[in-house]
Amino acid sequence: MRREAEREGRMIEVLRAGPLTTVQDLGRPGFAHLGVPRAGALDGPALRLANRLAGNPEGAAALEVTAGGCSLRLATAGTVALTGAFAPLSVGGRPAAFALPVPVPAGAVVTVGRAVHGVRSYLAVGGGIAVEPVLGSRSADTLSGLGPAPLRDGDRLPVGAYVSPSTVDFVPWRPPPLSLALRIRLGPRADWFTAEAVAALLGTAYTVSPVSNRVGARLAGAALPRAVAGELPSEGIVLGAVQVPANGQPLIFLADHPTTGGYPVIGVVDDVTPLAQAVPGTTVTFHGPER
């Protein structure tokens, strides 16, 4: 597919990669038994919307642009759409619309600015990013290294053949909240923690740490003391698992999480999507499934 894209000139040149821009689709679920994480876009709804706006299938590969933006040149005319974290978008030096299809002339530079609200923006290009898939996905996995590497200045990315124009003409948008209430199911190792620890988890507020990444959202707040002091053999880890390392501060695993871990998991969050746009300092509270 890359050779065909190069032959037809359907390429993107990366002028400025930014702090972390990766190719993402909906991930590669089903390989955890082989030690392969799911990966994929942290904000799946934003990726799907960007693709719909650009005229792509919802699961096409796009760019996940983290916080600091990026700058690209499209060799051939096309369509782009930006969703997720709100960031200024320009095409050929002129401001362009957020969350709407934007035509791009051949050779024009597309620039995503620094995120204003949220953390991760999704830039879809008509035809999709056509890097070679690995285990059925084009997603970059920052933990295992599977898939394409994070973008670097000077990279060239192939673009698939454009299929159809967007059928979406209006997209409501609201800034991500500065306070999240996440539903959690206790276990499988909640009994490794004191009753006070469980009460603290469910009864106090935490904040998202600046050292969070695609592997996990690190939280700062009340430490969670353990009732069992021994070591735990490595066990399977799932998306949303809340692991508690030696410092007692909970860590919520996200898309690039490891498939096994040796620290006890006090509970599992039902839906981690809101954490994709949680800026450092965002307040996080947990509540049980009965609520």
User: For position 264, which CATH number holds?
Assistant: 2.40.100.10
Q: Establish if 171 belongs to a structural domain.
A: no
> Do 208 and 114 share a structural domain?
no
| pLDDT score for 2 | 80
15 vs 273: CA distance, rounded Å: 30
Same domain, 154 and 183: no
User: What does the block give as tokens for 76?
Assistant: 């051939």
C-alpha pair distances (Å), 12 with each of 82, 153, 154: 16, 11, 10
Please give the pLDDT value at position 102: 95
What total number of domains does the chain contain? 2
Are residue 11 and residue 150 in the same domain, yes or no? yes
Q: Are residues 150 and 20 both part of a single domain? A: yes
Does 213 reside within a domain? yes
Q: What dihedral do alpha carbons 153, 158, 162, 165 form, nearest 10°?
A: -20
**Residue carrying structure tokens 């969050």:** 269
- Residue ending a domain, among 158, 188, 205, is 158
Return the CA Rg of the chain: 20
Q: Give domain status of residue 263, yes or no.
A: yes
Expressed as residue numbers, the domain containing 28 is 2-158
Gap between the Cα atoms of 131 and 162, Å rounded:
15
126 with 183, same domain: the answer is: no
Query: How confident is the model at residue 139, as a pLDDT?
Result: 98
pTM: 0.96
**Residue type, position 37, single letter:** P
* Amino acid 147: pLDDT: 97
Any domain includes 168: no
- Provide the 8-state DSSP code for 43: S
DSSP string, 114-167: --SEEEEEEEEETT-B-PPPBTTB----TTT--SSPPP-TT-EEEBPPP-----
Q: Are residues 185 and 138 in the same domain?
A: no
Nearest CA-CA partner of 277 in 215, 208, 220: 208
Same domain, 154 and 189: no
pLDDT tens per residue across all 291 residues of the chain: 787 877 778 999 999 999 999 999 999 999 988 889 899 999 999 999 999 999 999 999 999 999 999 999 999 999 999 999 999 999 999 999 999 999 999 999 999 999 999 999 999 999 999 999 999 999 999 999 999 999 999 999 999 997 777 777 778 888 999 999 999 999 999 999 999 999 999 999 999 999 999 999 999 999 999 999 888 999 999 999 999 999 999 999 999 999 999 999 999 999 999 999 999 999 999 999 875
pLDDT at 170 (0 to 100) = 73
> Given 112, 128, 158, which residue is the final one in a domain?
158
Can you state the percent helix, strand and coil of the chain, rounding each to 5?
15, 35, 55
DSSP 51: H
Q: What is the pLDDT of residue 165?
A: 73
